[in-house]
Amino acid sequence: MSFTTATPRGRLQVTYSESSAPFAALFPEDGSNVLMYVHSDGDSYEQVEMSIGATDHDEQPPTADDCDNCGGCDCVGDWCLDGAVPRTHKNTCATCDNAECIITTTCAC
């Protein structure tokens, strides 16, 4: 389950997942790389700049309100839940949902 909201720095997505701790993704207004806020050590959140990239036909990172550049995946270490502590890698992918570019996740990449 996820929701999005506009902020002064860009669109913020907050996600509650069955396979990982809650996380947030910021799509910066300036078009720079997506910033993820992940709970990777089981104690606190950290900011990670994602290299999600773009679809094969475009070199721009995904944008919040444009599904044309929404695509690509990146792998974040020590993020999937294994018991009570995040331990395995998580695959994060940009995908278009209801005409909005969002970050989805699957464990093990």
Q: Which residues contact 17 (CB under 8 A, 6 or more apart)?
A: 23, 105
Question: Quick one: 82 and 41 in the same domain?
Answer: no
Let me know if residue 11 belongs to a domain: yes
Let me know if residue 30 belongs to a domain: yes
Pairwise CA distance, residues 16 & 28, whole Å = 21
Let me know if residue 56 belongs to a domain: no
Residue 96 has pLDDT above 80, yes or no: yes
Residue 38 has pLDDT above 70, yes or no: yes
The mean per-residue pLDDT over the stretch 17-22 comes to 72
Question: Quick one: 65 and 43 in the same domain?
Answer: no
State the total domains in the chain: 2
Residue carrying the six token digits 């974040």: 76
Question: Quick one: 36 and 66 in the same domain?
Answer: no
Question: Quick one: 47 and 66 in the same domain?
Answer: no
Domain span at residue 31 reads 2-51
The mean per-residue pLDDT over the stretch 33-41 comes to 76
The mean per-residue pLDDT over the stretch 38-44 comes to 67
Contact 15, 25 (CB under 8 A): yes
Out of 20-24, 50-54, 70-74, least confident range = 50-54
